[in-house]
């Protein structure tokens, strides 16, 4: 089947999918993933899409409100983050607190769905899509706690998990490039930036039409190419520095000759890897210190110390 190179989904989220004329693309992707017909009411402000020095930062997110008044966070992440799982919990919590009136009852909290498109290995698992919900299980009877009829009427929900945030982790690199259903057609596009002629998933033909690189104005096409180059450069720095740091840490642990020494050495190596990444990013001048702090997990104060120390050498 013929293929055509298309704009990456993260760039489309930053530049093209914000137009109401292109909502059909986002609606198609979300409908296939969530297995229900999604209609977008509006896009909400999202901190990671500001046009400033952080514009090169390898994370893009989008907040969407659907026709059920649920808020959906879509995030594309390229760089390894040691505390990524904790960060998505913080992100959903922040959205909940931002979208409830001060005098409103807790029953008015919004439902949040966090969709994370990951281009790095997170955790251990062979699947390429993971779905997480909240459930309460009896310690003795092993039954699942359910809502009463009164609670169902009050909350407008039939199941407890519908109240709490839900999480989707899409580990793009685990996908085997075999599209077995319509959702896989979208995953294929996310991984390969290509849409085959026989794909029929909801919204995907619109994506094929609107995300054609050849249709970009020359200035925007050049900006896109620079963005892609920056992604490759920063990913290489992060991955190589992380790997070197772990190897050094394991070497230190082996020299100590004890299991606890190896664990301690690995931890030291991970910290060393973070610092090496930070020093390189600080020297490159491509990102401001807040963005580097978010990439590496180091504090602003520690980064300032590294910057000062690098300048003294």
Residue 190 and residue 70 share a domain: yes
4 belongs to a structural domain: no
Cβ contact 125:168 at 8 Å: no
Mean per-residue pLDDT, 58-79? 78
Residue 200 and residue 242 share a domain: no
* Residue 149 region by backbone torsions, left for phi larger than 0, else alpha for psi between -120 and 50, else beta: alpha
58 belongs to a structural domain: yes
1 belongs to a structural domain: no
CA 212 – CA 194 distance, rounded (Å)? 10
H or E stretch covering 310: helix 300-312
The residue segments making up the domain with residue 147 are 9-215
CA 262 – CA 270 distance, rounded (Å)? 12
Residue 114 and residue 47 share a domain: yes
2 belongs to a structural domain: no
163 belongs to a structural domain: yes
3 belongs to a structural domain: no
74: nearest Cα among 65, 85, 86, 83: 65
Q: 313 falls in which pLDDT band (50, 70, 90)?
A: very low
Structural domain count, the chain: 2
pLDDT digits (tens, 9 = 90+) for 286-295: 677 877 887 7
Class of residue 73 by CB neighbours under 10 A (exposed 0-12, middle 13-18, buried 19+): buried
Cβ contact 278:309 at 8 Å: no
Residue 97 and residue 244 share a domain: no
DSSP state of 6: B
Final residue of a domain: which of 194, 215, 236?
A: 215
User: In the predicted model, is pLDDT for residue 70 greater than 70?
Assistant: yes
Residue 294 and residue 168 share a domain: no
Which whole-number Å values give the CA distances from 6 to 12, 14, 196, 205, in the listed order? 10, 15, 11, 12
Final residue of a domain: which of 155, 182, 215?
A: 215
pLDDT digits (tens, 9 = 90+) for 153-200: 988 899 999 999 999 999 999 999 999 999 999 999 999 989 999 999
Residue 279 and residue 199 share a domain: no
275 belongs to a structural domain: yes
Residue 169 and residue 208 share a domain: yes
Residue 191 and residue 111 share a domain: yes
Residue 248 and residue 197 share a domain: no
Residue 226 and residue 131 share a domain: no
pLDDT digits (tens, 9 = 90+) for 137-147: 999 999 999 99
276: nearest Cα among 292, 263, 264: 292
154 belongs to a structural domain: yes
Dihedral sign of CA atoms 80, 84, 85, 88 in order: negative
Mean per-residue pLDDT, 77-106? 85
Cβ contact 89:141 at 8 Å: no
CA 282 – CA 285 distance, rounded (Å)? 6
CA 188 – CA 178 distance, rounded (Å)? 8
Final residue of a domain: which of 215, 234, 263?
A: 215
Residue 255 and residue 140 share a domain: no
Cβ contact 204:28 at 8 Å: yes
Residue 92 and residue 28 share a domain: yes
pLDDT reported for residue 141: 96
């Amino acid at each position: 089947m013929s293929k055509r190179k298309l704009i990456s989904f993260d760039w489309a989220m930053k530049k093209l999918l914000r137009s109401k004329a292109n909502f059909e693309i986002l609606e198609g992707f979300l409908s296939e993933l969530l297995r229900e017909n999604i209609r977008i009411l509006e896009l909400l402000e999202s901190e990671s899409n500001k046009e400033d020095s952080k514009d090169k930062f390898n994370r893009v997110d989008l907040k969407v409100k659907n026709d059920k008044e649920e808020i959906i966070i879509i995030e594309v992440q390229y760089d390894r983050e040691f505390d990524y799982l904790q960060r998505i919990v913080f992100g959903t919590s922040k959205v909940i607190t931002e979208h409830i009136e001060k005098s409103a009852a807790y029953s008015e909290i919004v439902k949040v769905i966090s969709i994370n498109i990951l281009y790095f290995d997170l955790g251990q698992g062979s699947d390429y899509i993971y779905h997480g919900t909240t459930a309460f299980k009896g310690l003795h009877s092993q039954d699942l706690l359910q809502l009463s009829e009164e609670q169902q009427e009050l909350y407008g929900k039939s199941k407890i998990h519908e109240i709490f945030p839900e999480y989707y982790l899409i580990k793009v690199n685990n996908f085997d490039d075999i599209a077995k259903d319509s959702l896989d057609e979208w995953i294929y596009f996310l991984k390969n930036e290509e849409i085959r002629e026989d794909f029929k998933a909801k919204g995907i033909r619109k994506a094929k039409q609107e995300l054609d690189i050849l249709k970009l104005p020359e200035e925007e096409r050049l900006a896109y190419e620079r963005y892609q180059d920056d992604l490759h450069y920063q990913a290489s720095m992060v991955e190589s520095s992380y790997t070197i740091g772990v190897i050094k840490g394991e070497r230190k642990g082996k020299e100590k000759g004890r299991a606890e020494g190896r664990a301690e050495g690995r931890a030291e190596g991970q910290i060393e890897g973070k610092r090496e990444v930070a020093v390189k990013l600080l020297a490159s001048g491509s990102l401001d210190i807040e963005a580097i702090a978010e990439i590496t997990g180091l504090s602003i104060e520690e980064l300032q110390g590294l910057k000062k120390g690098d300048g003294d050498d």
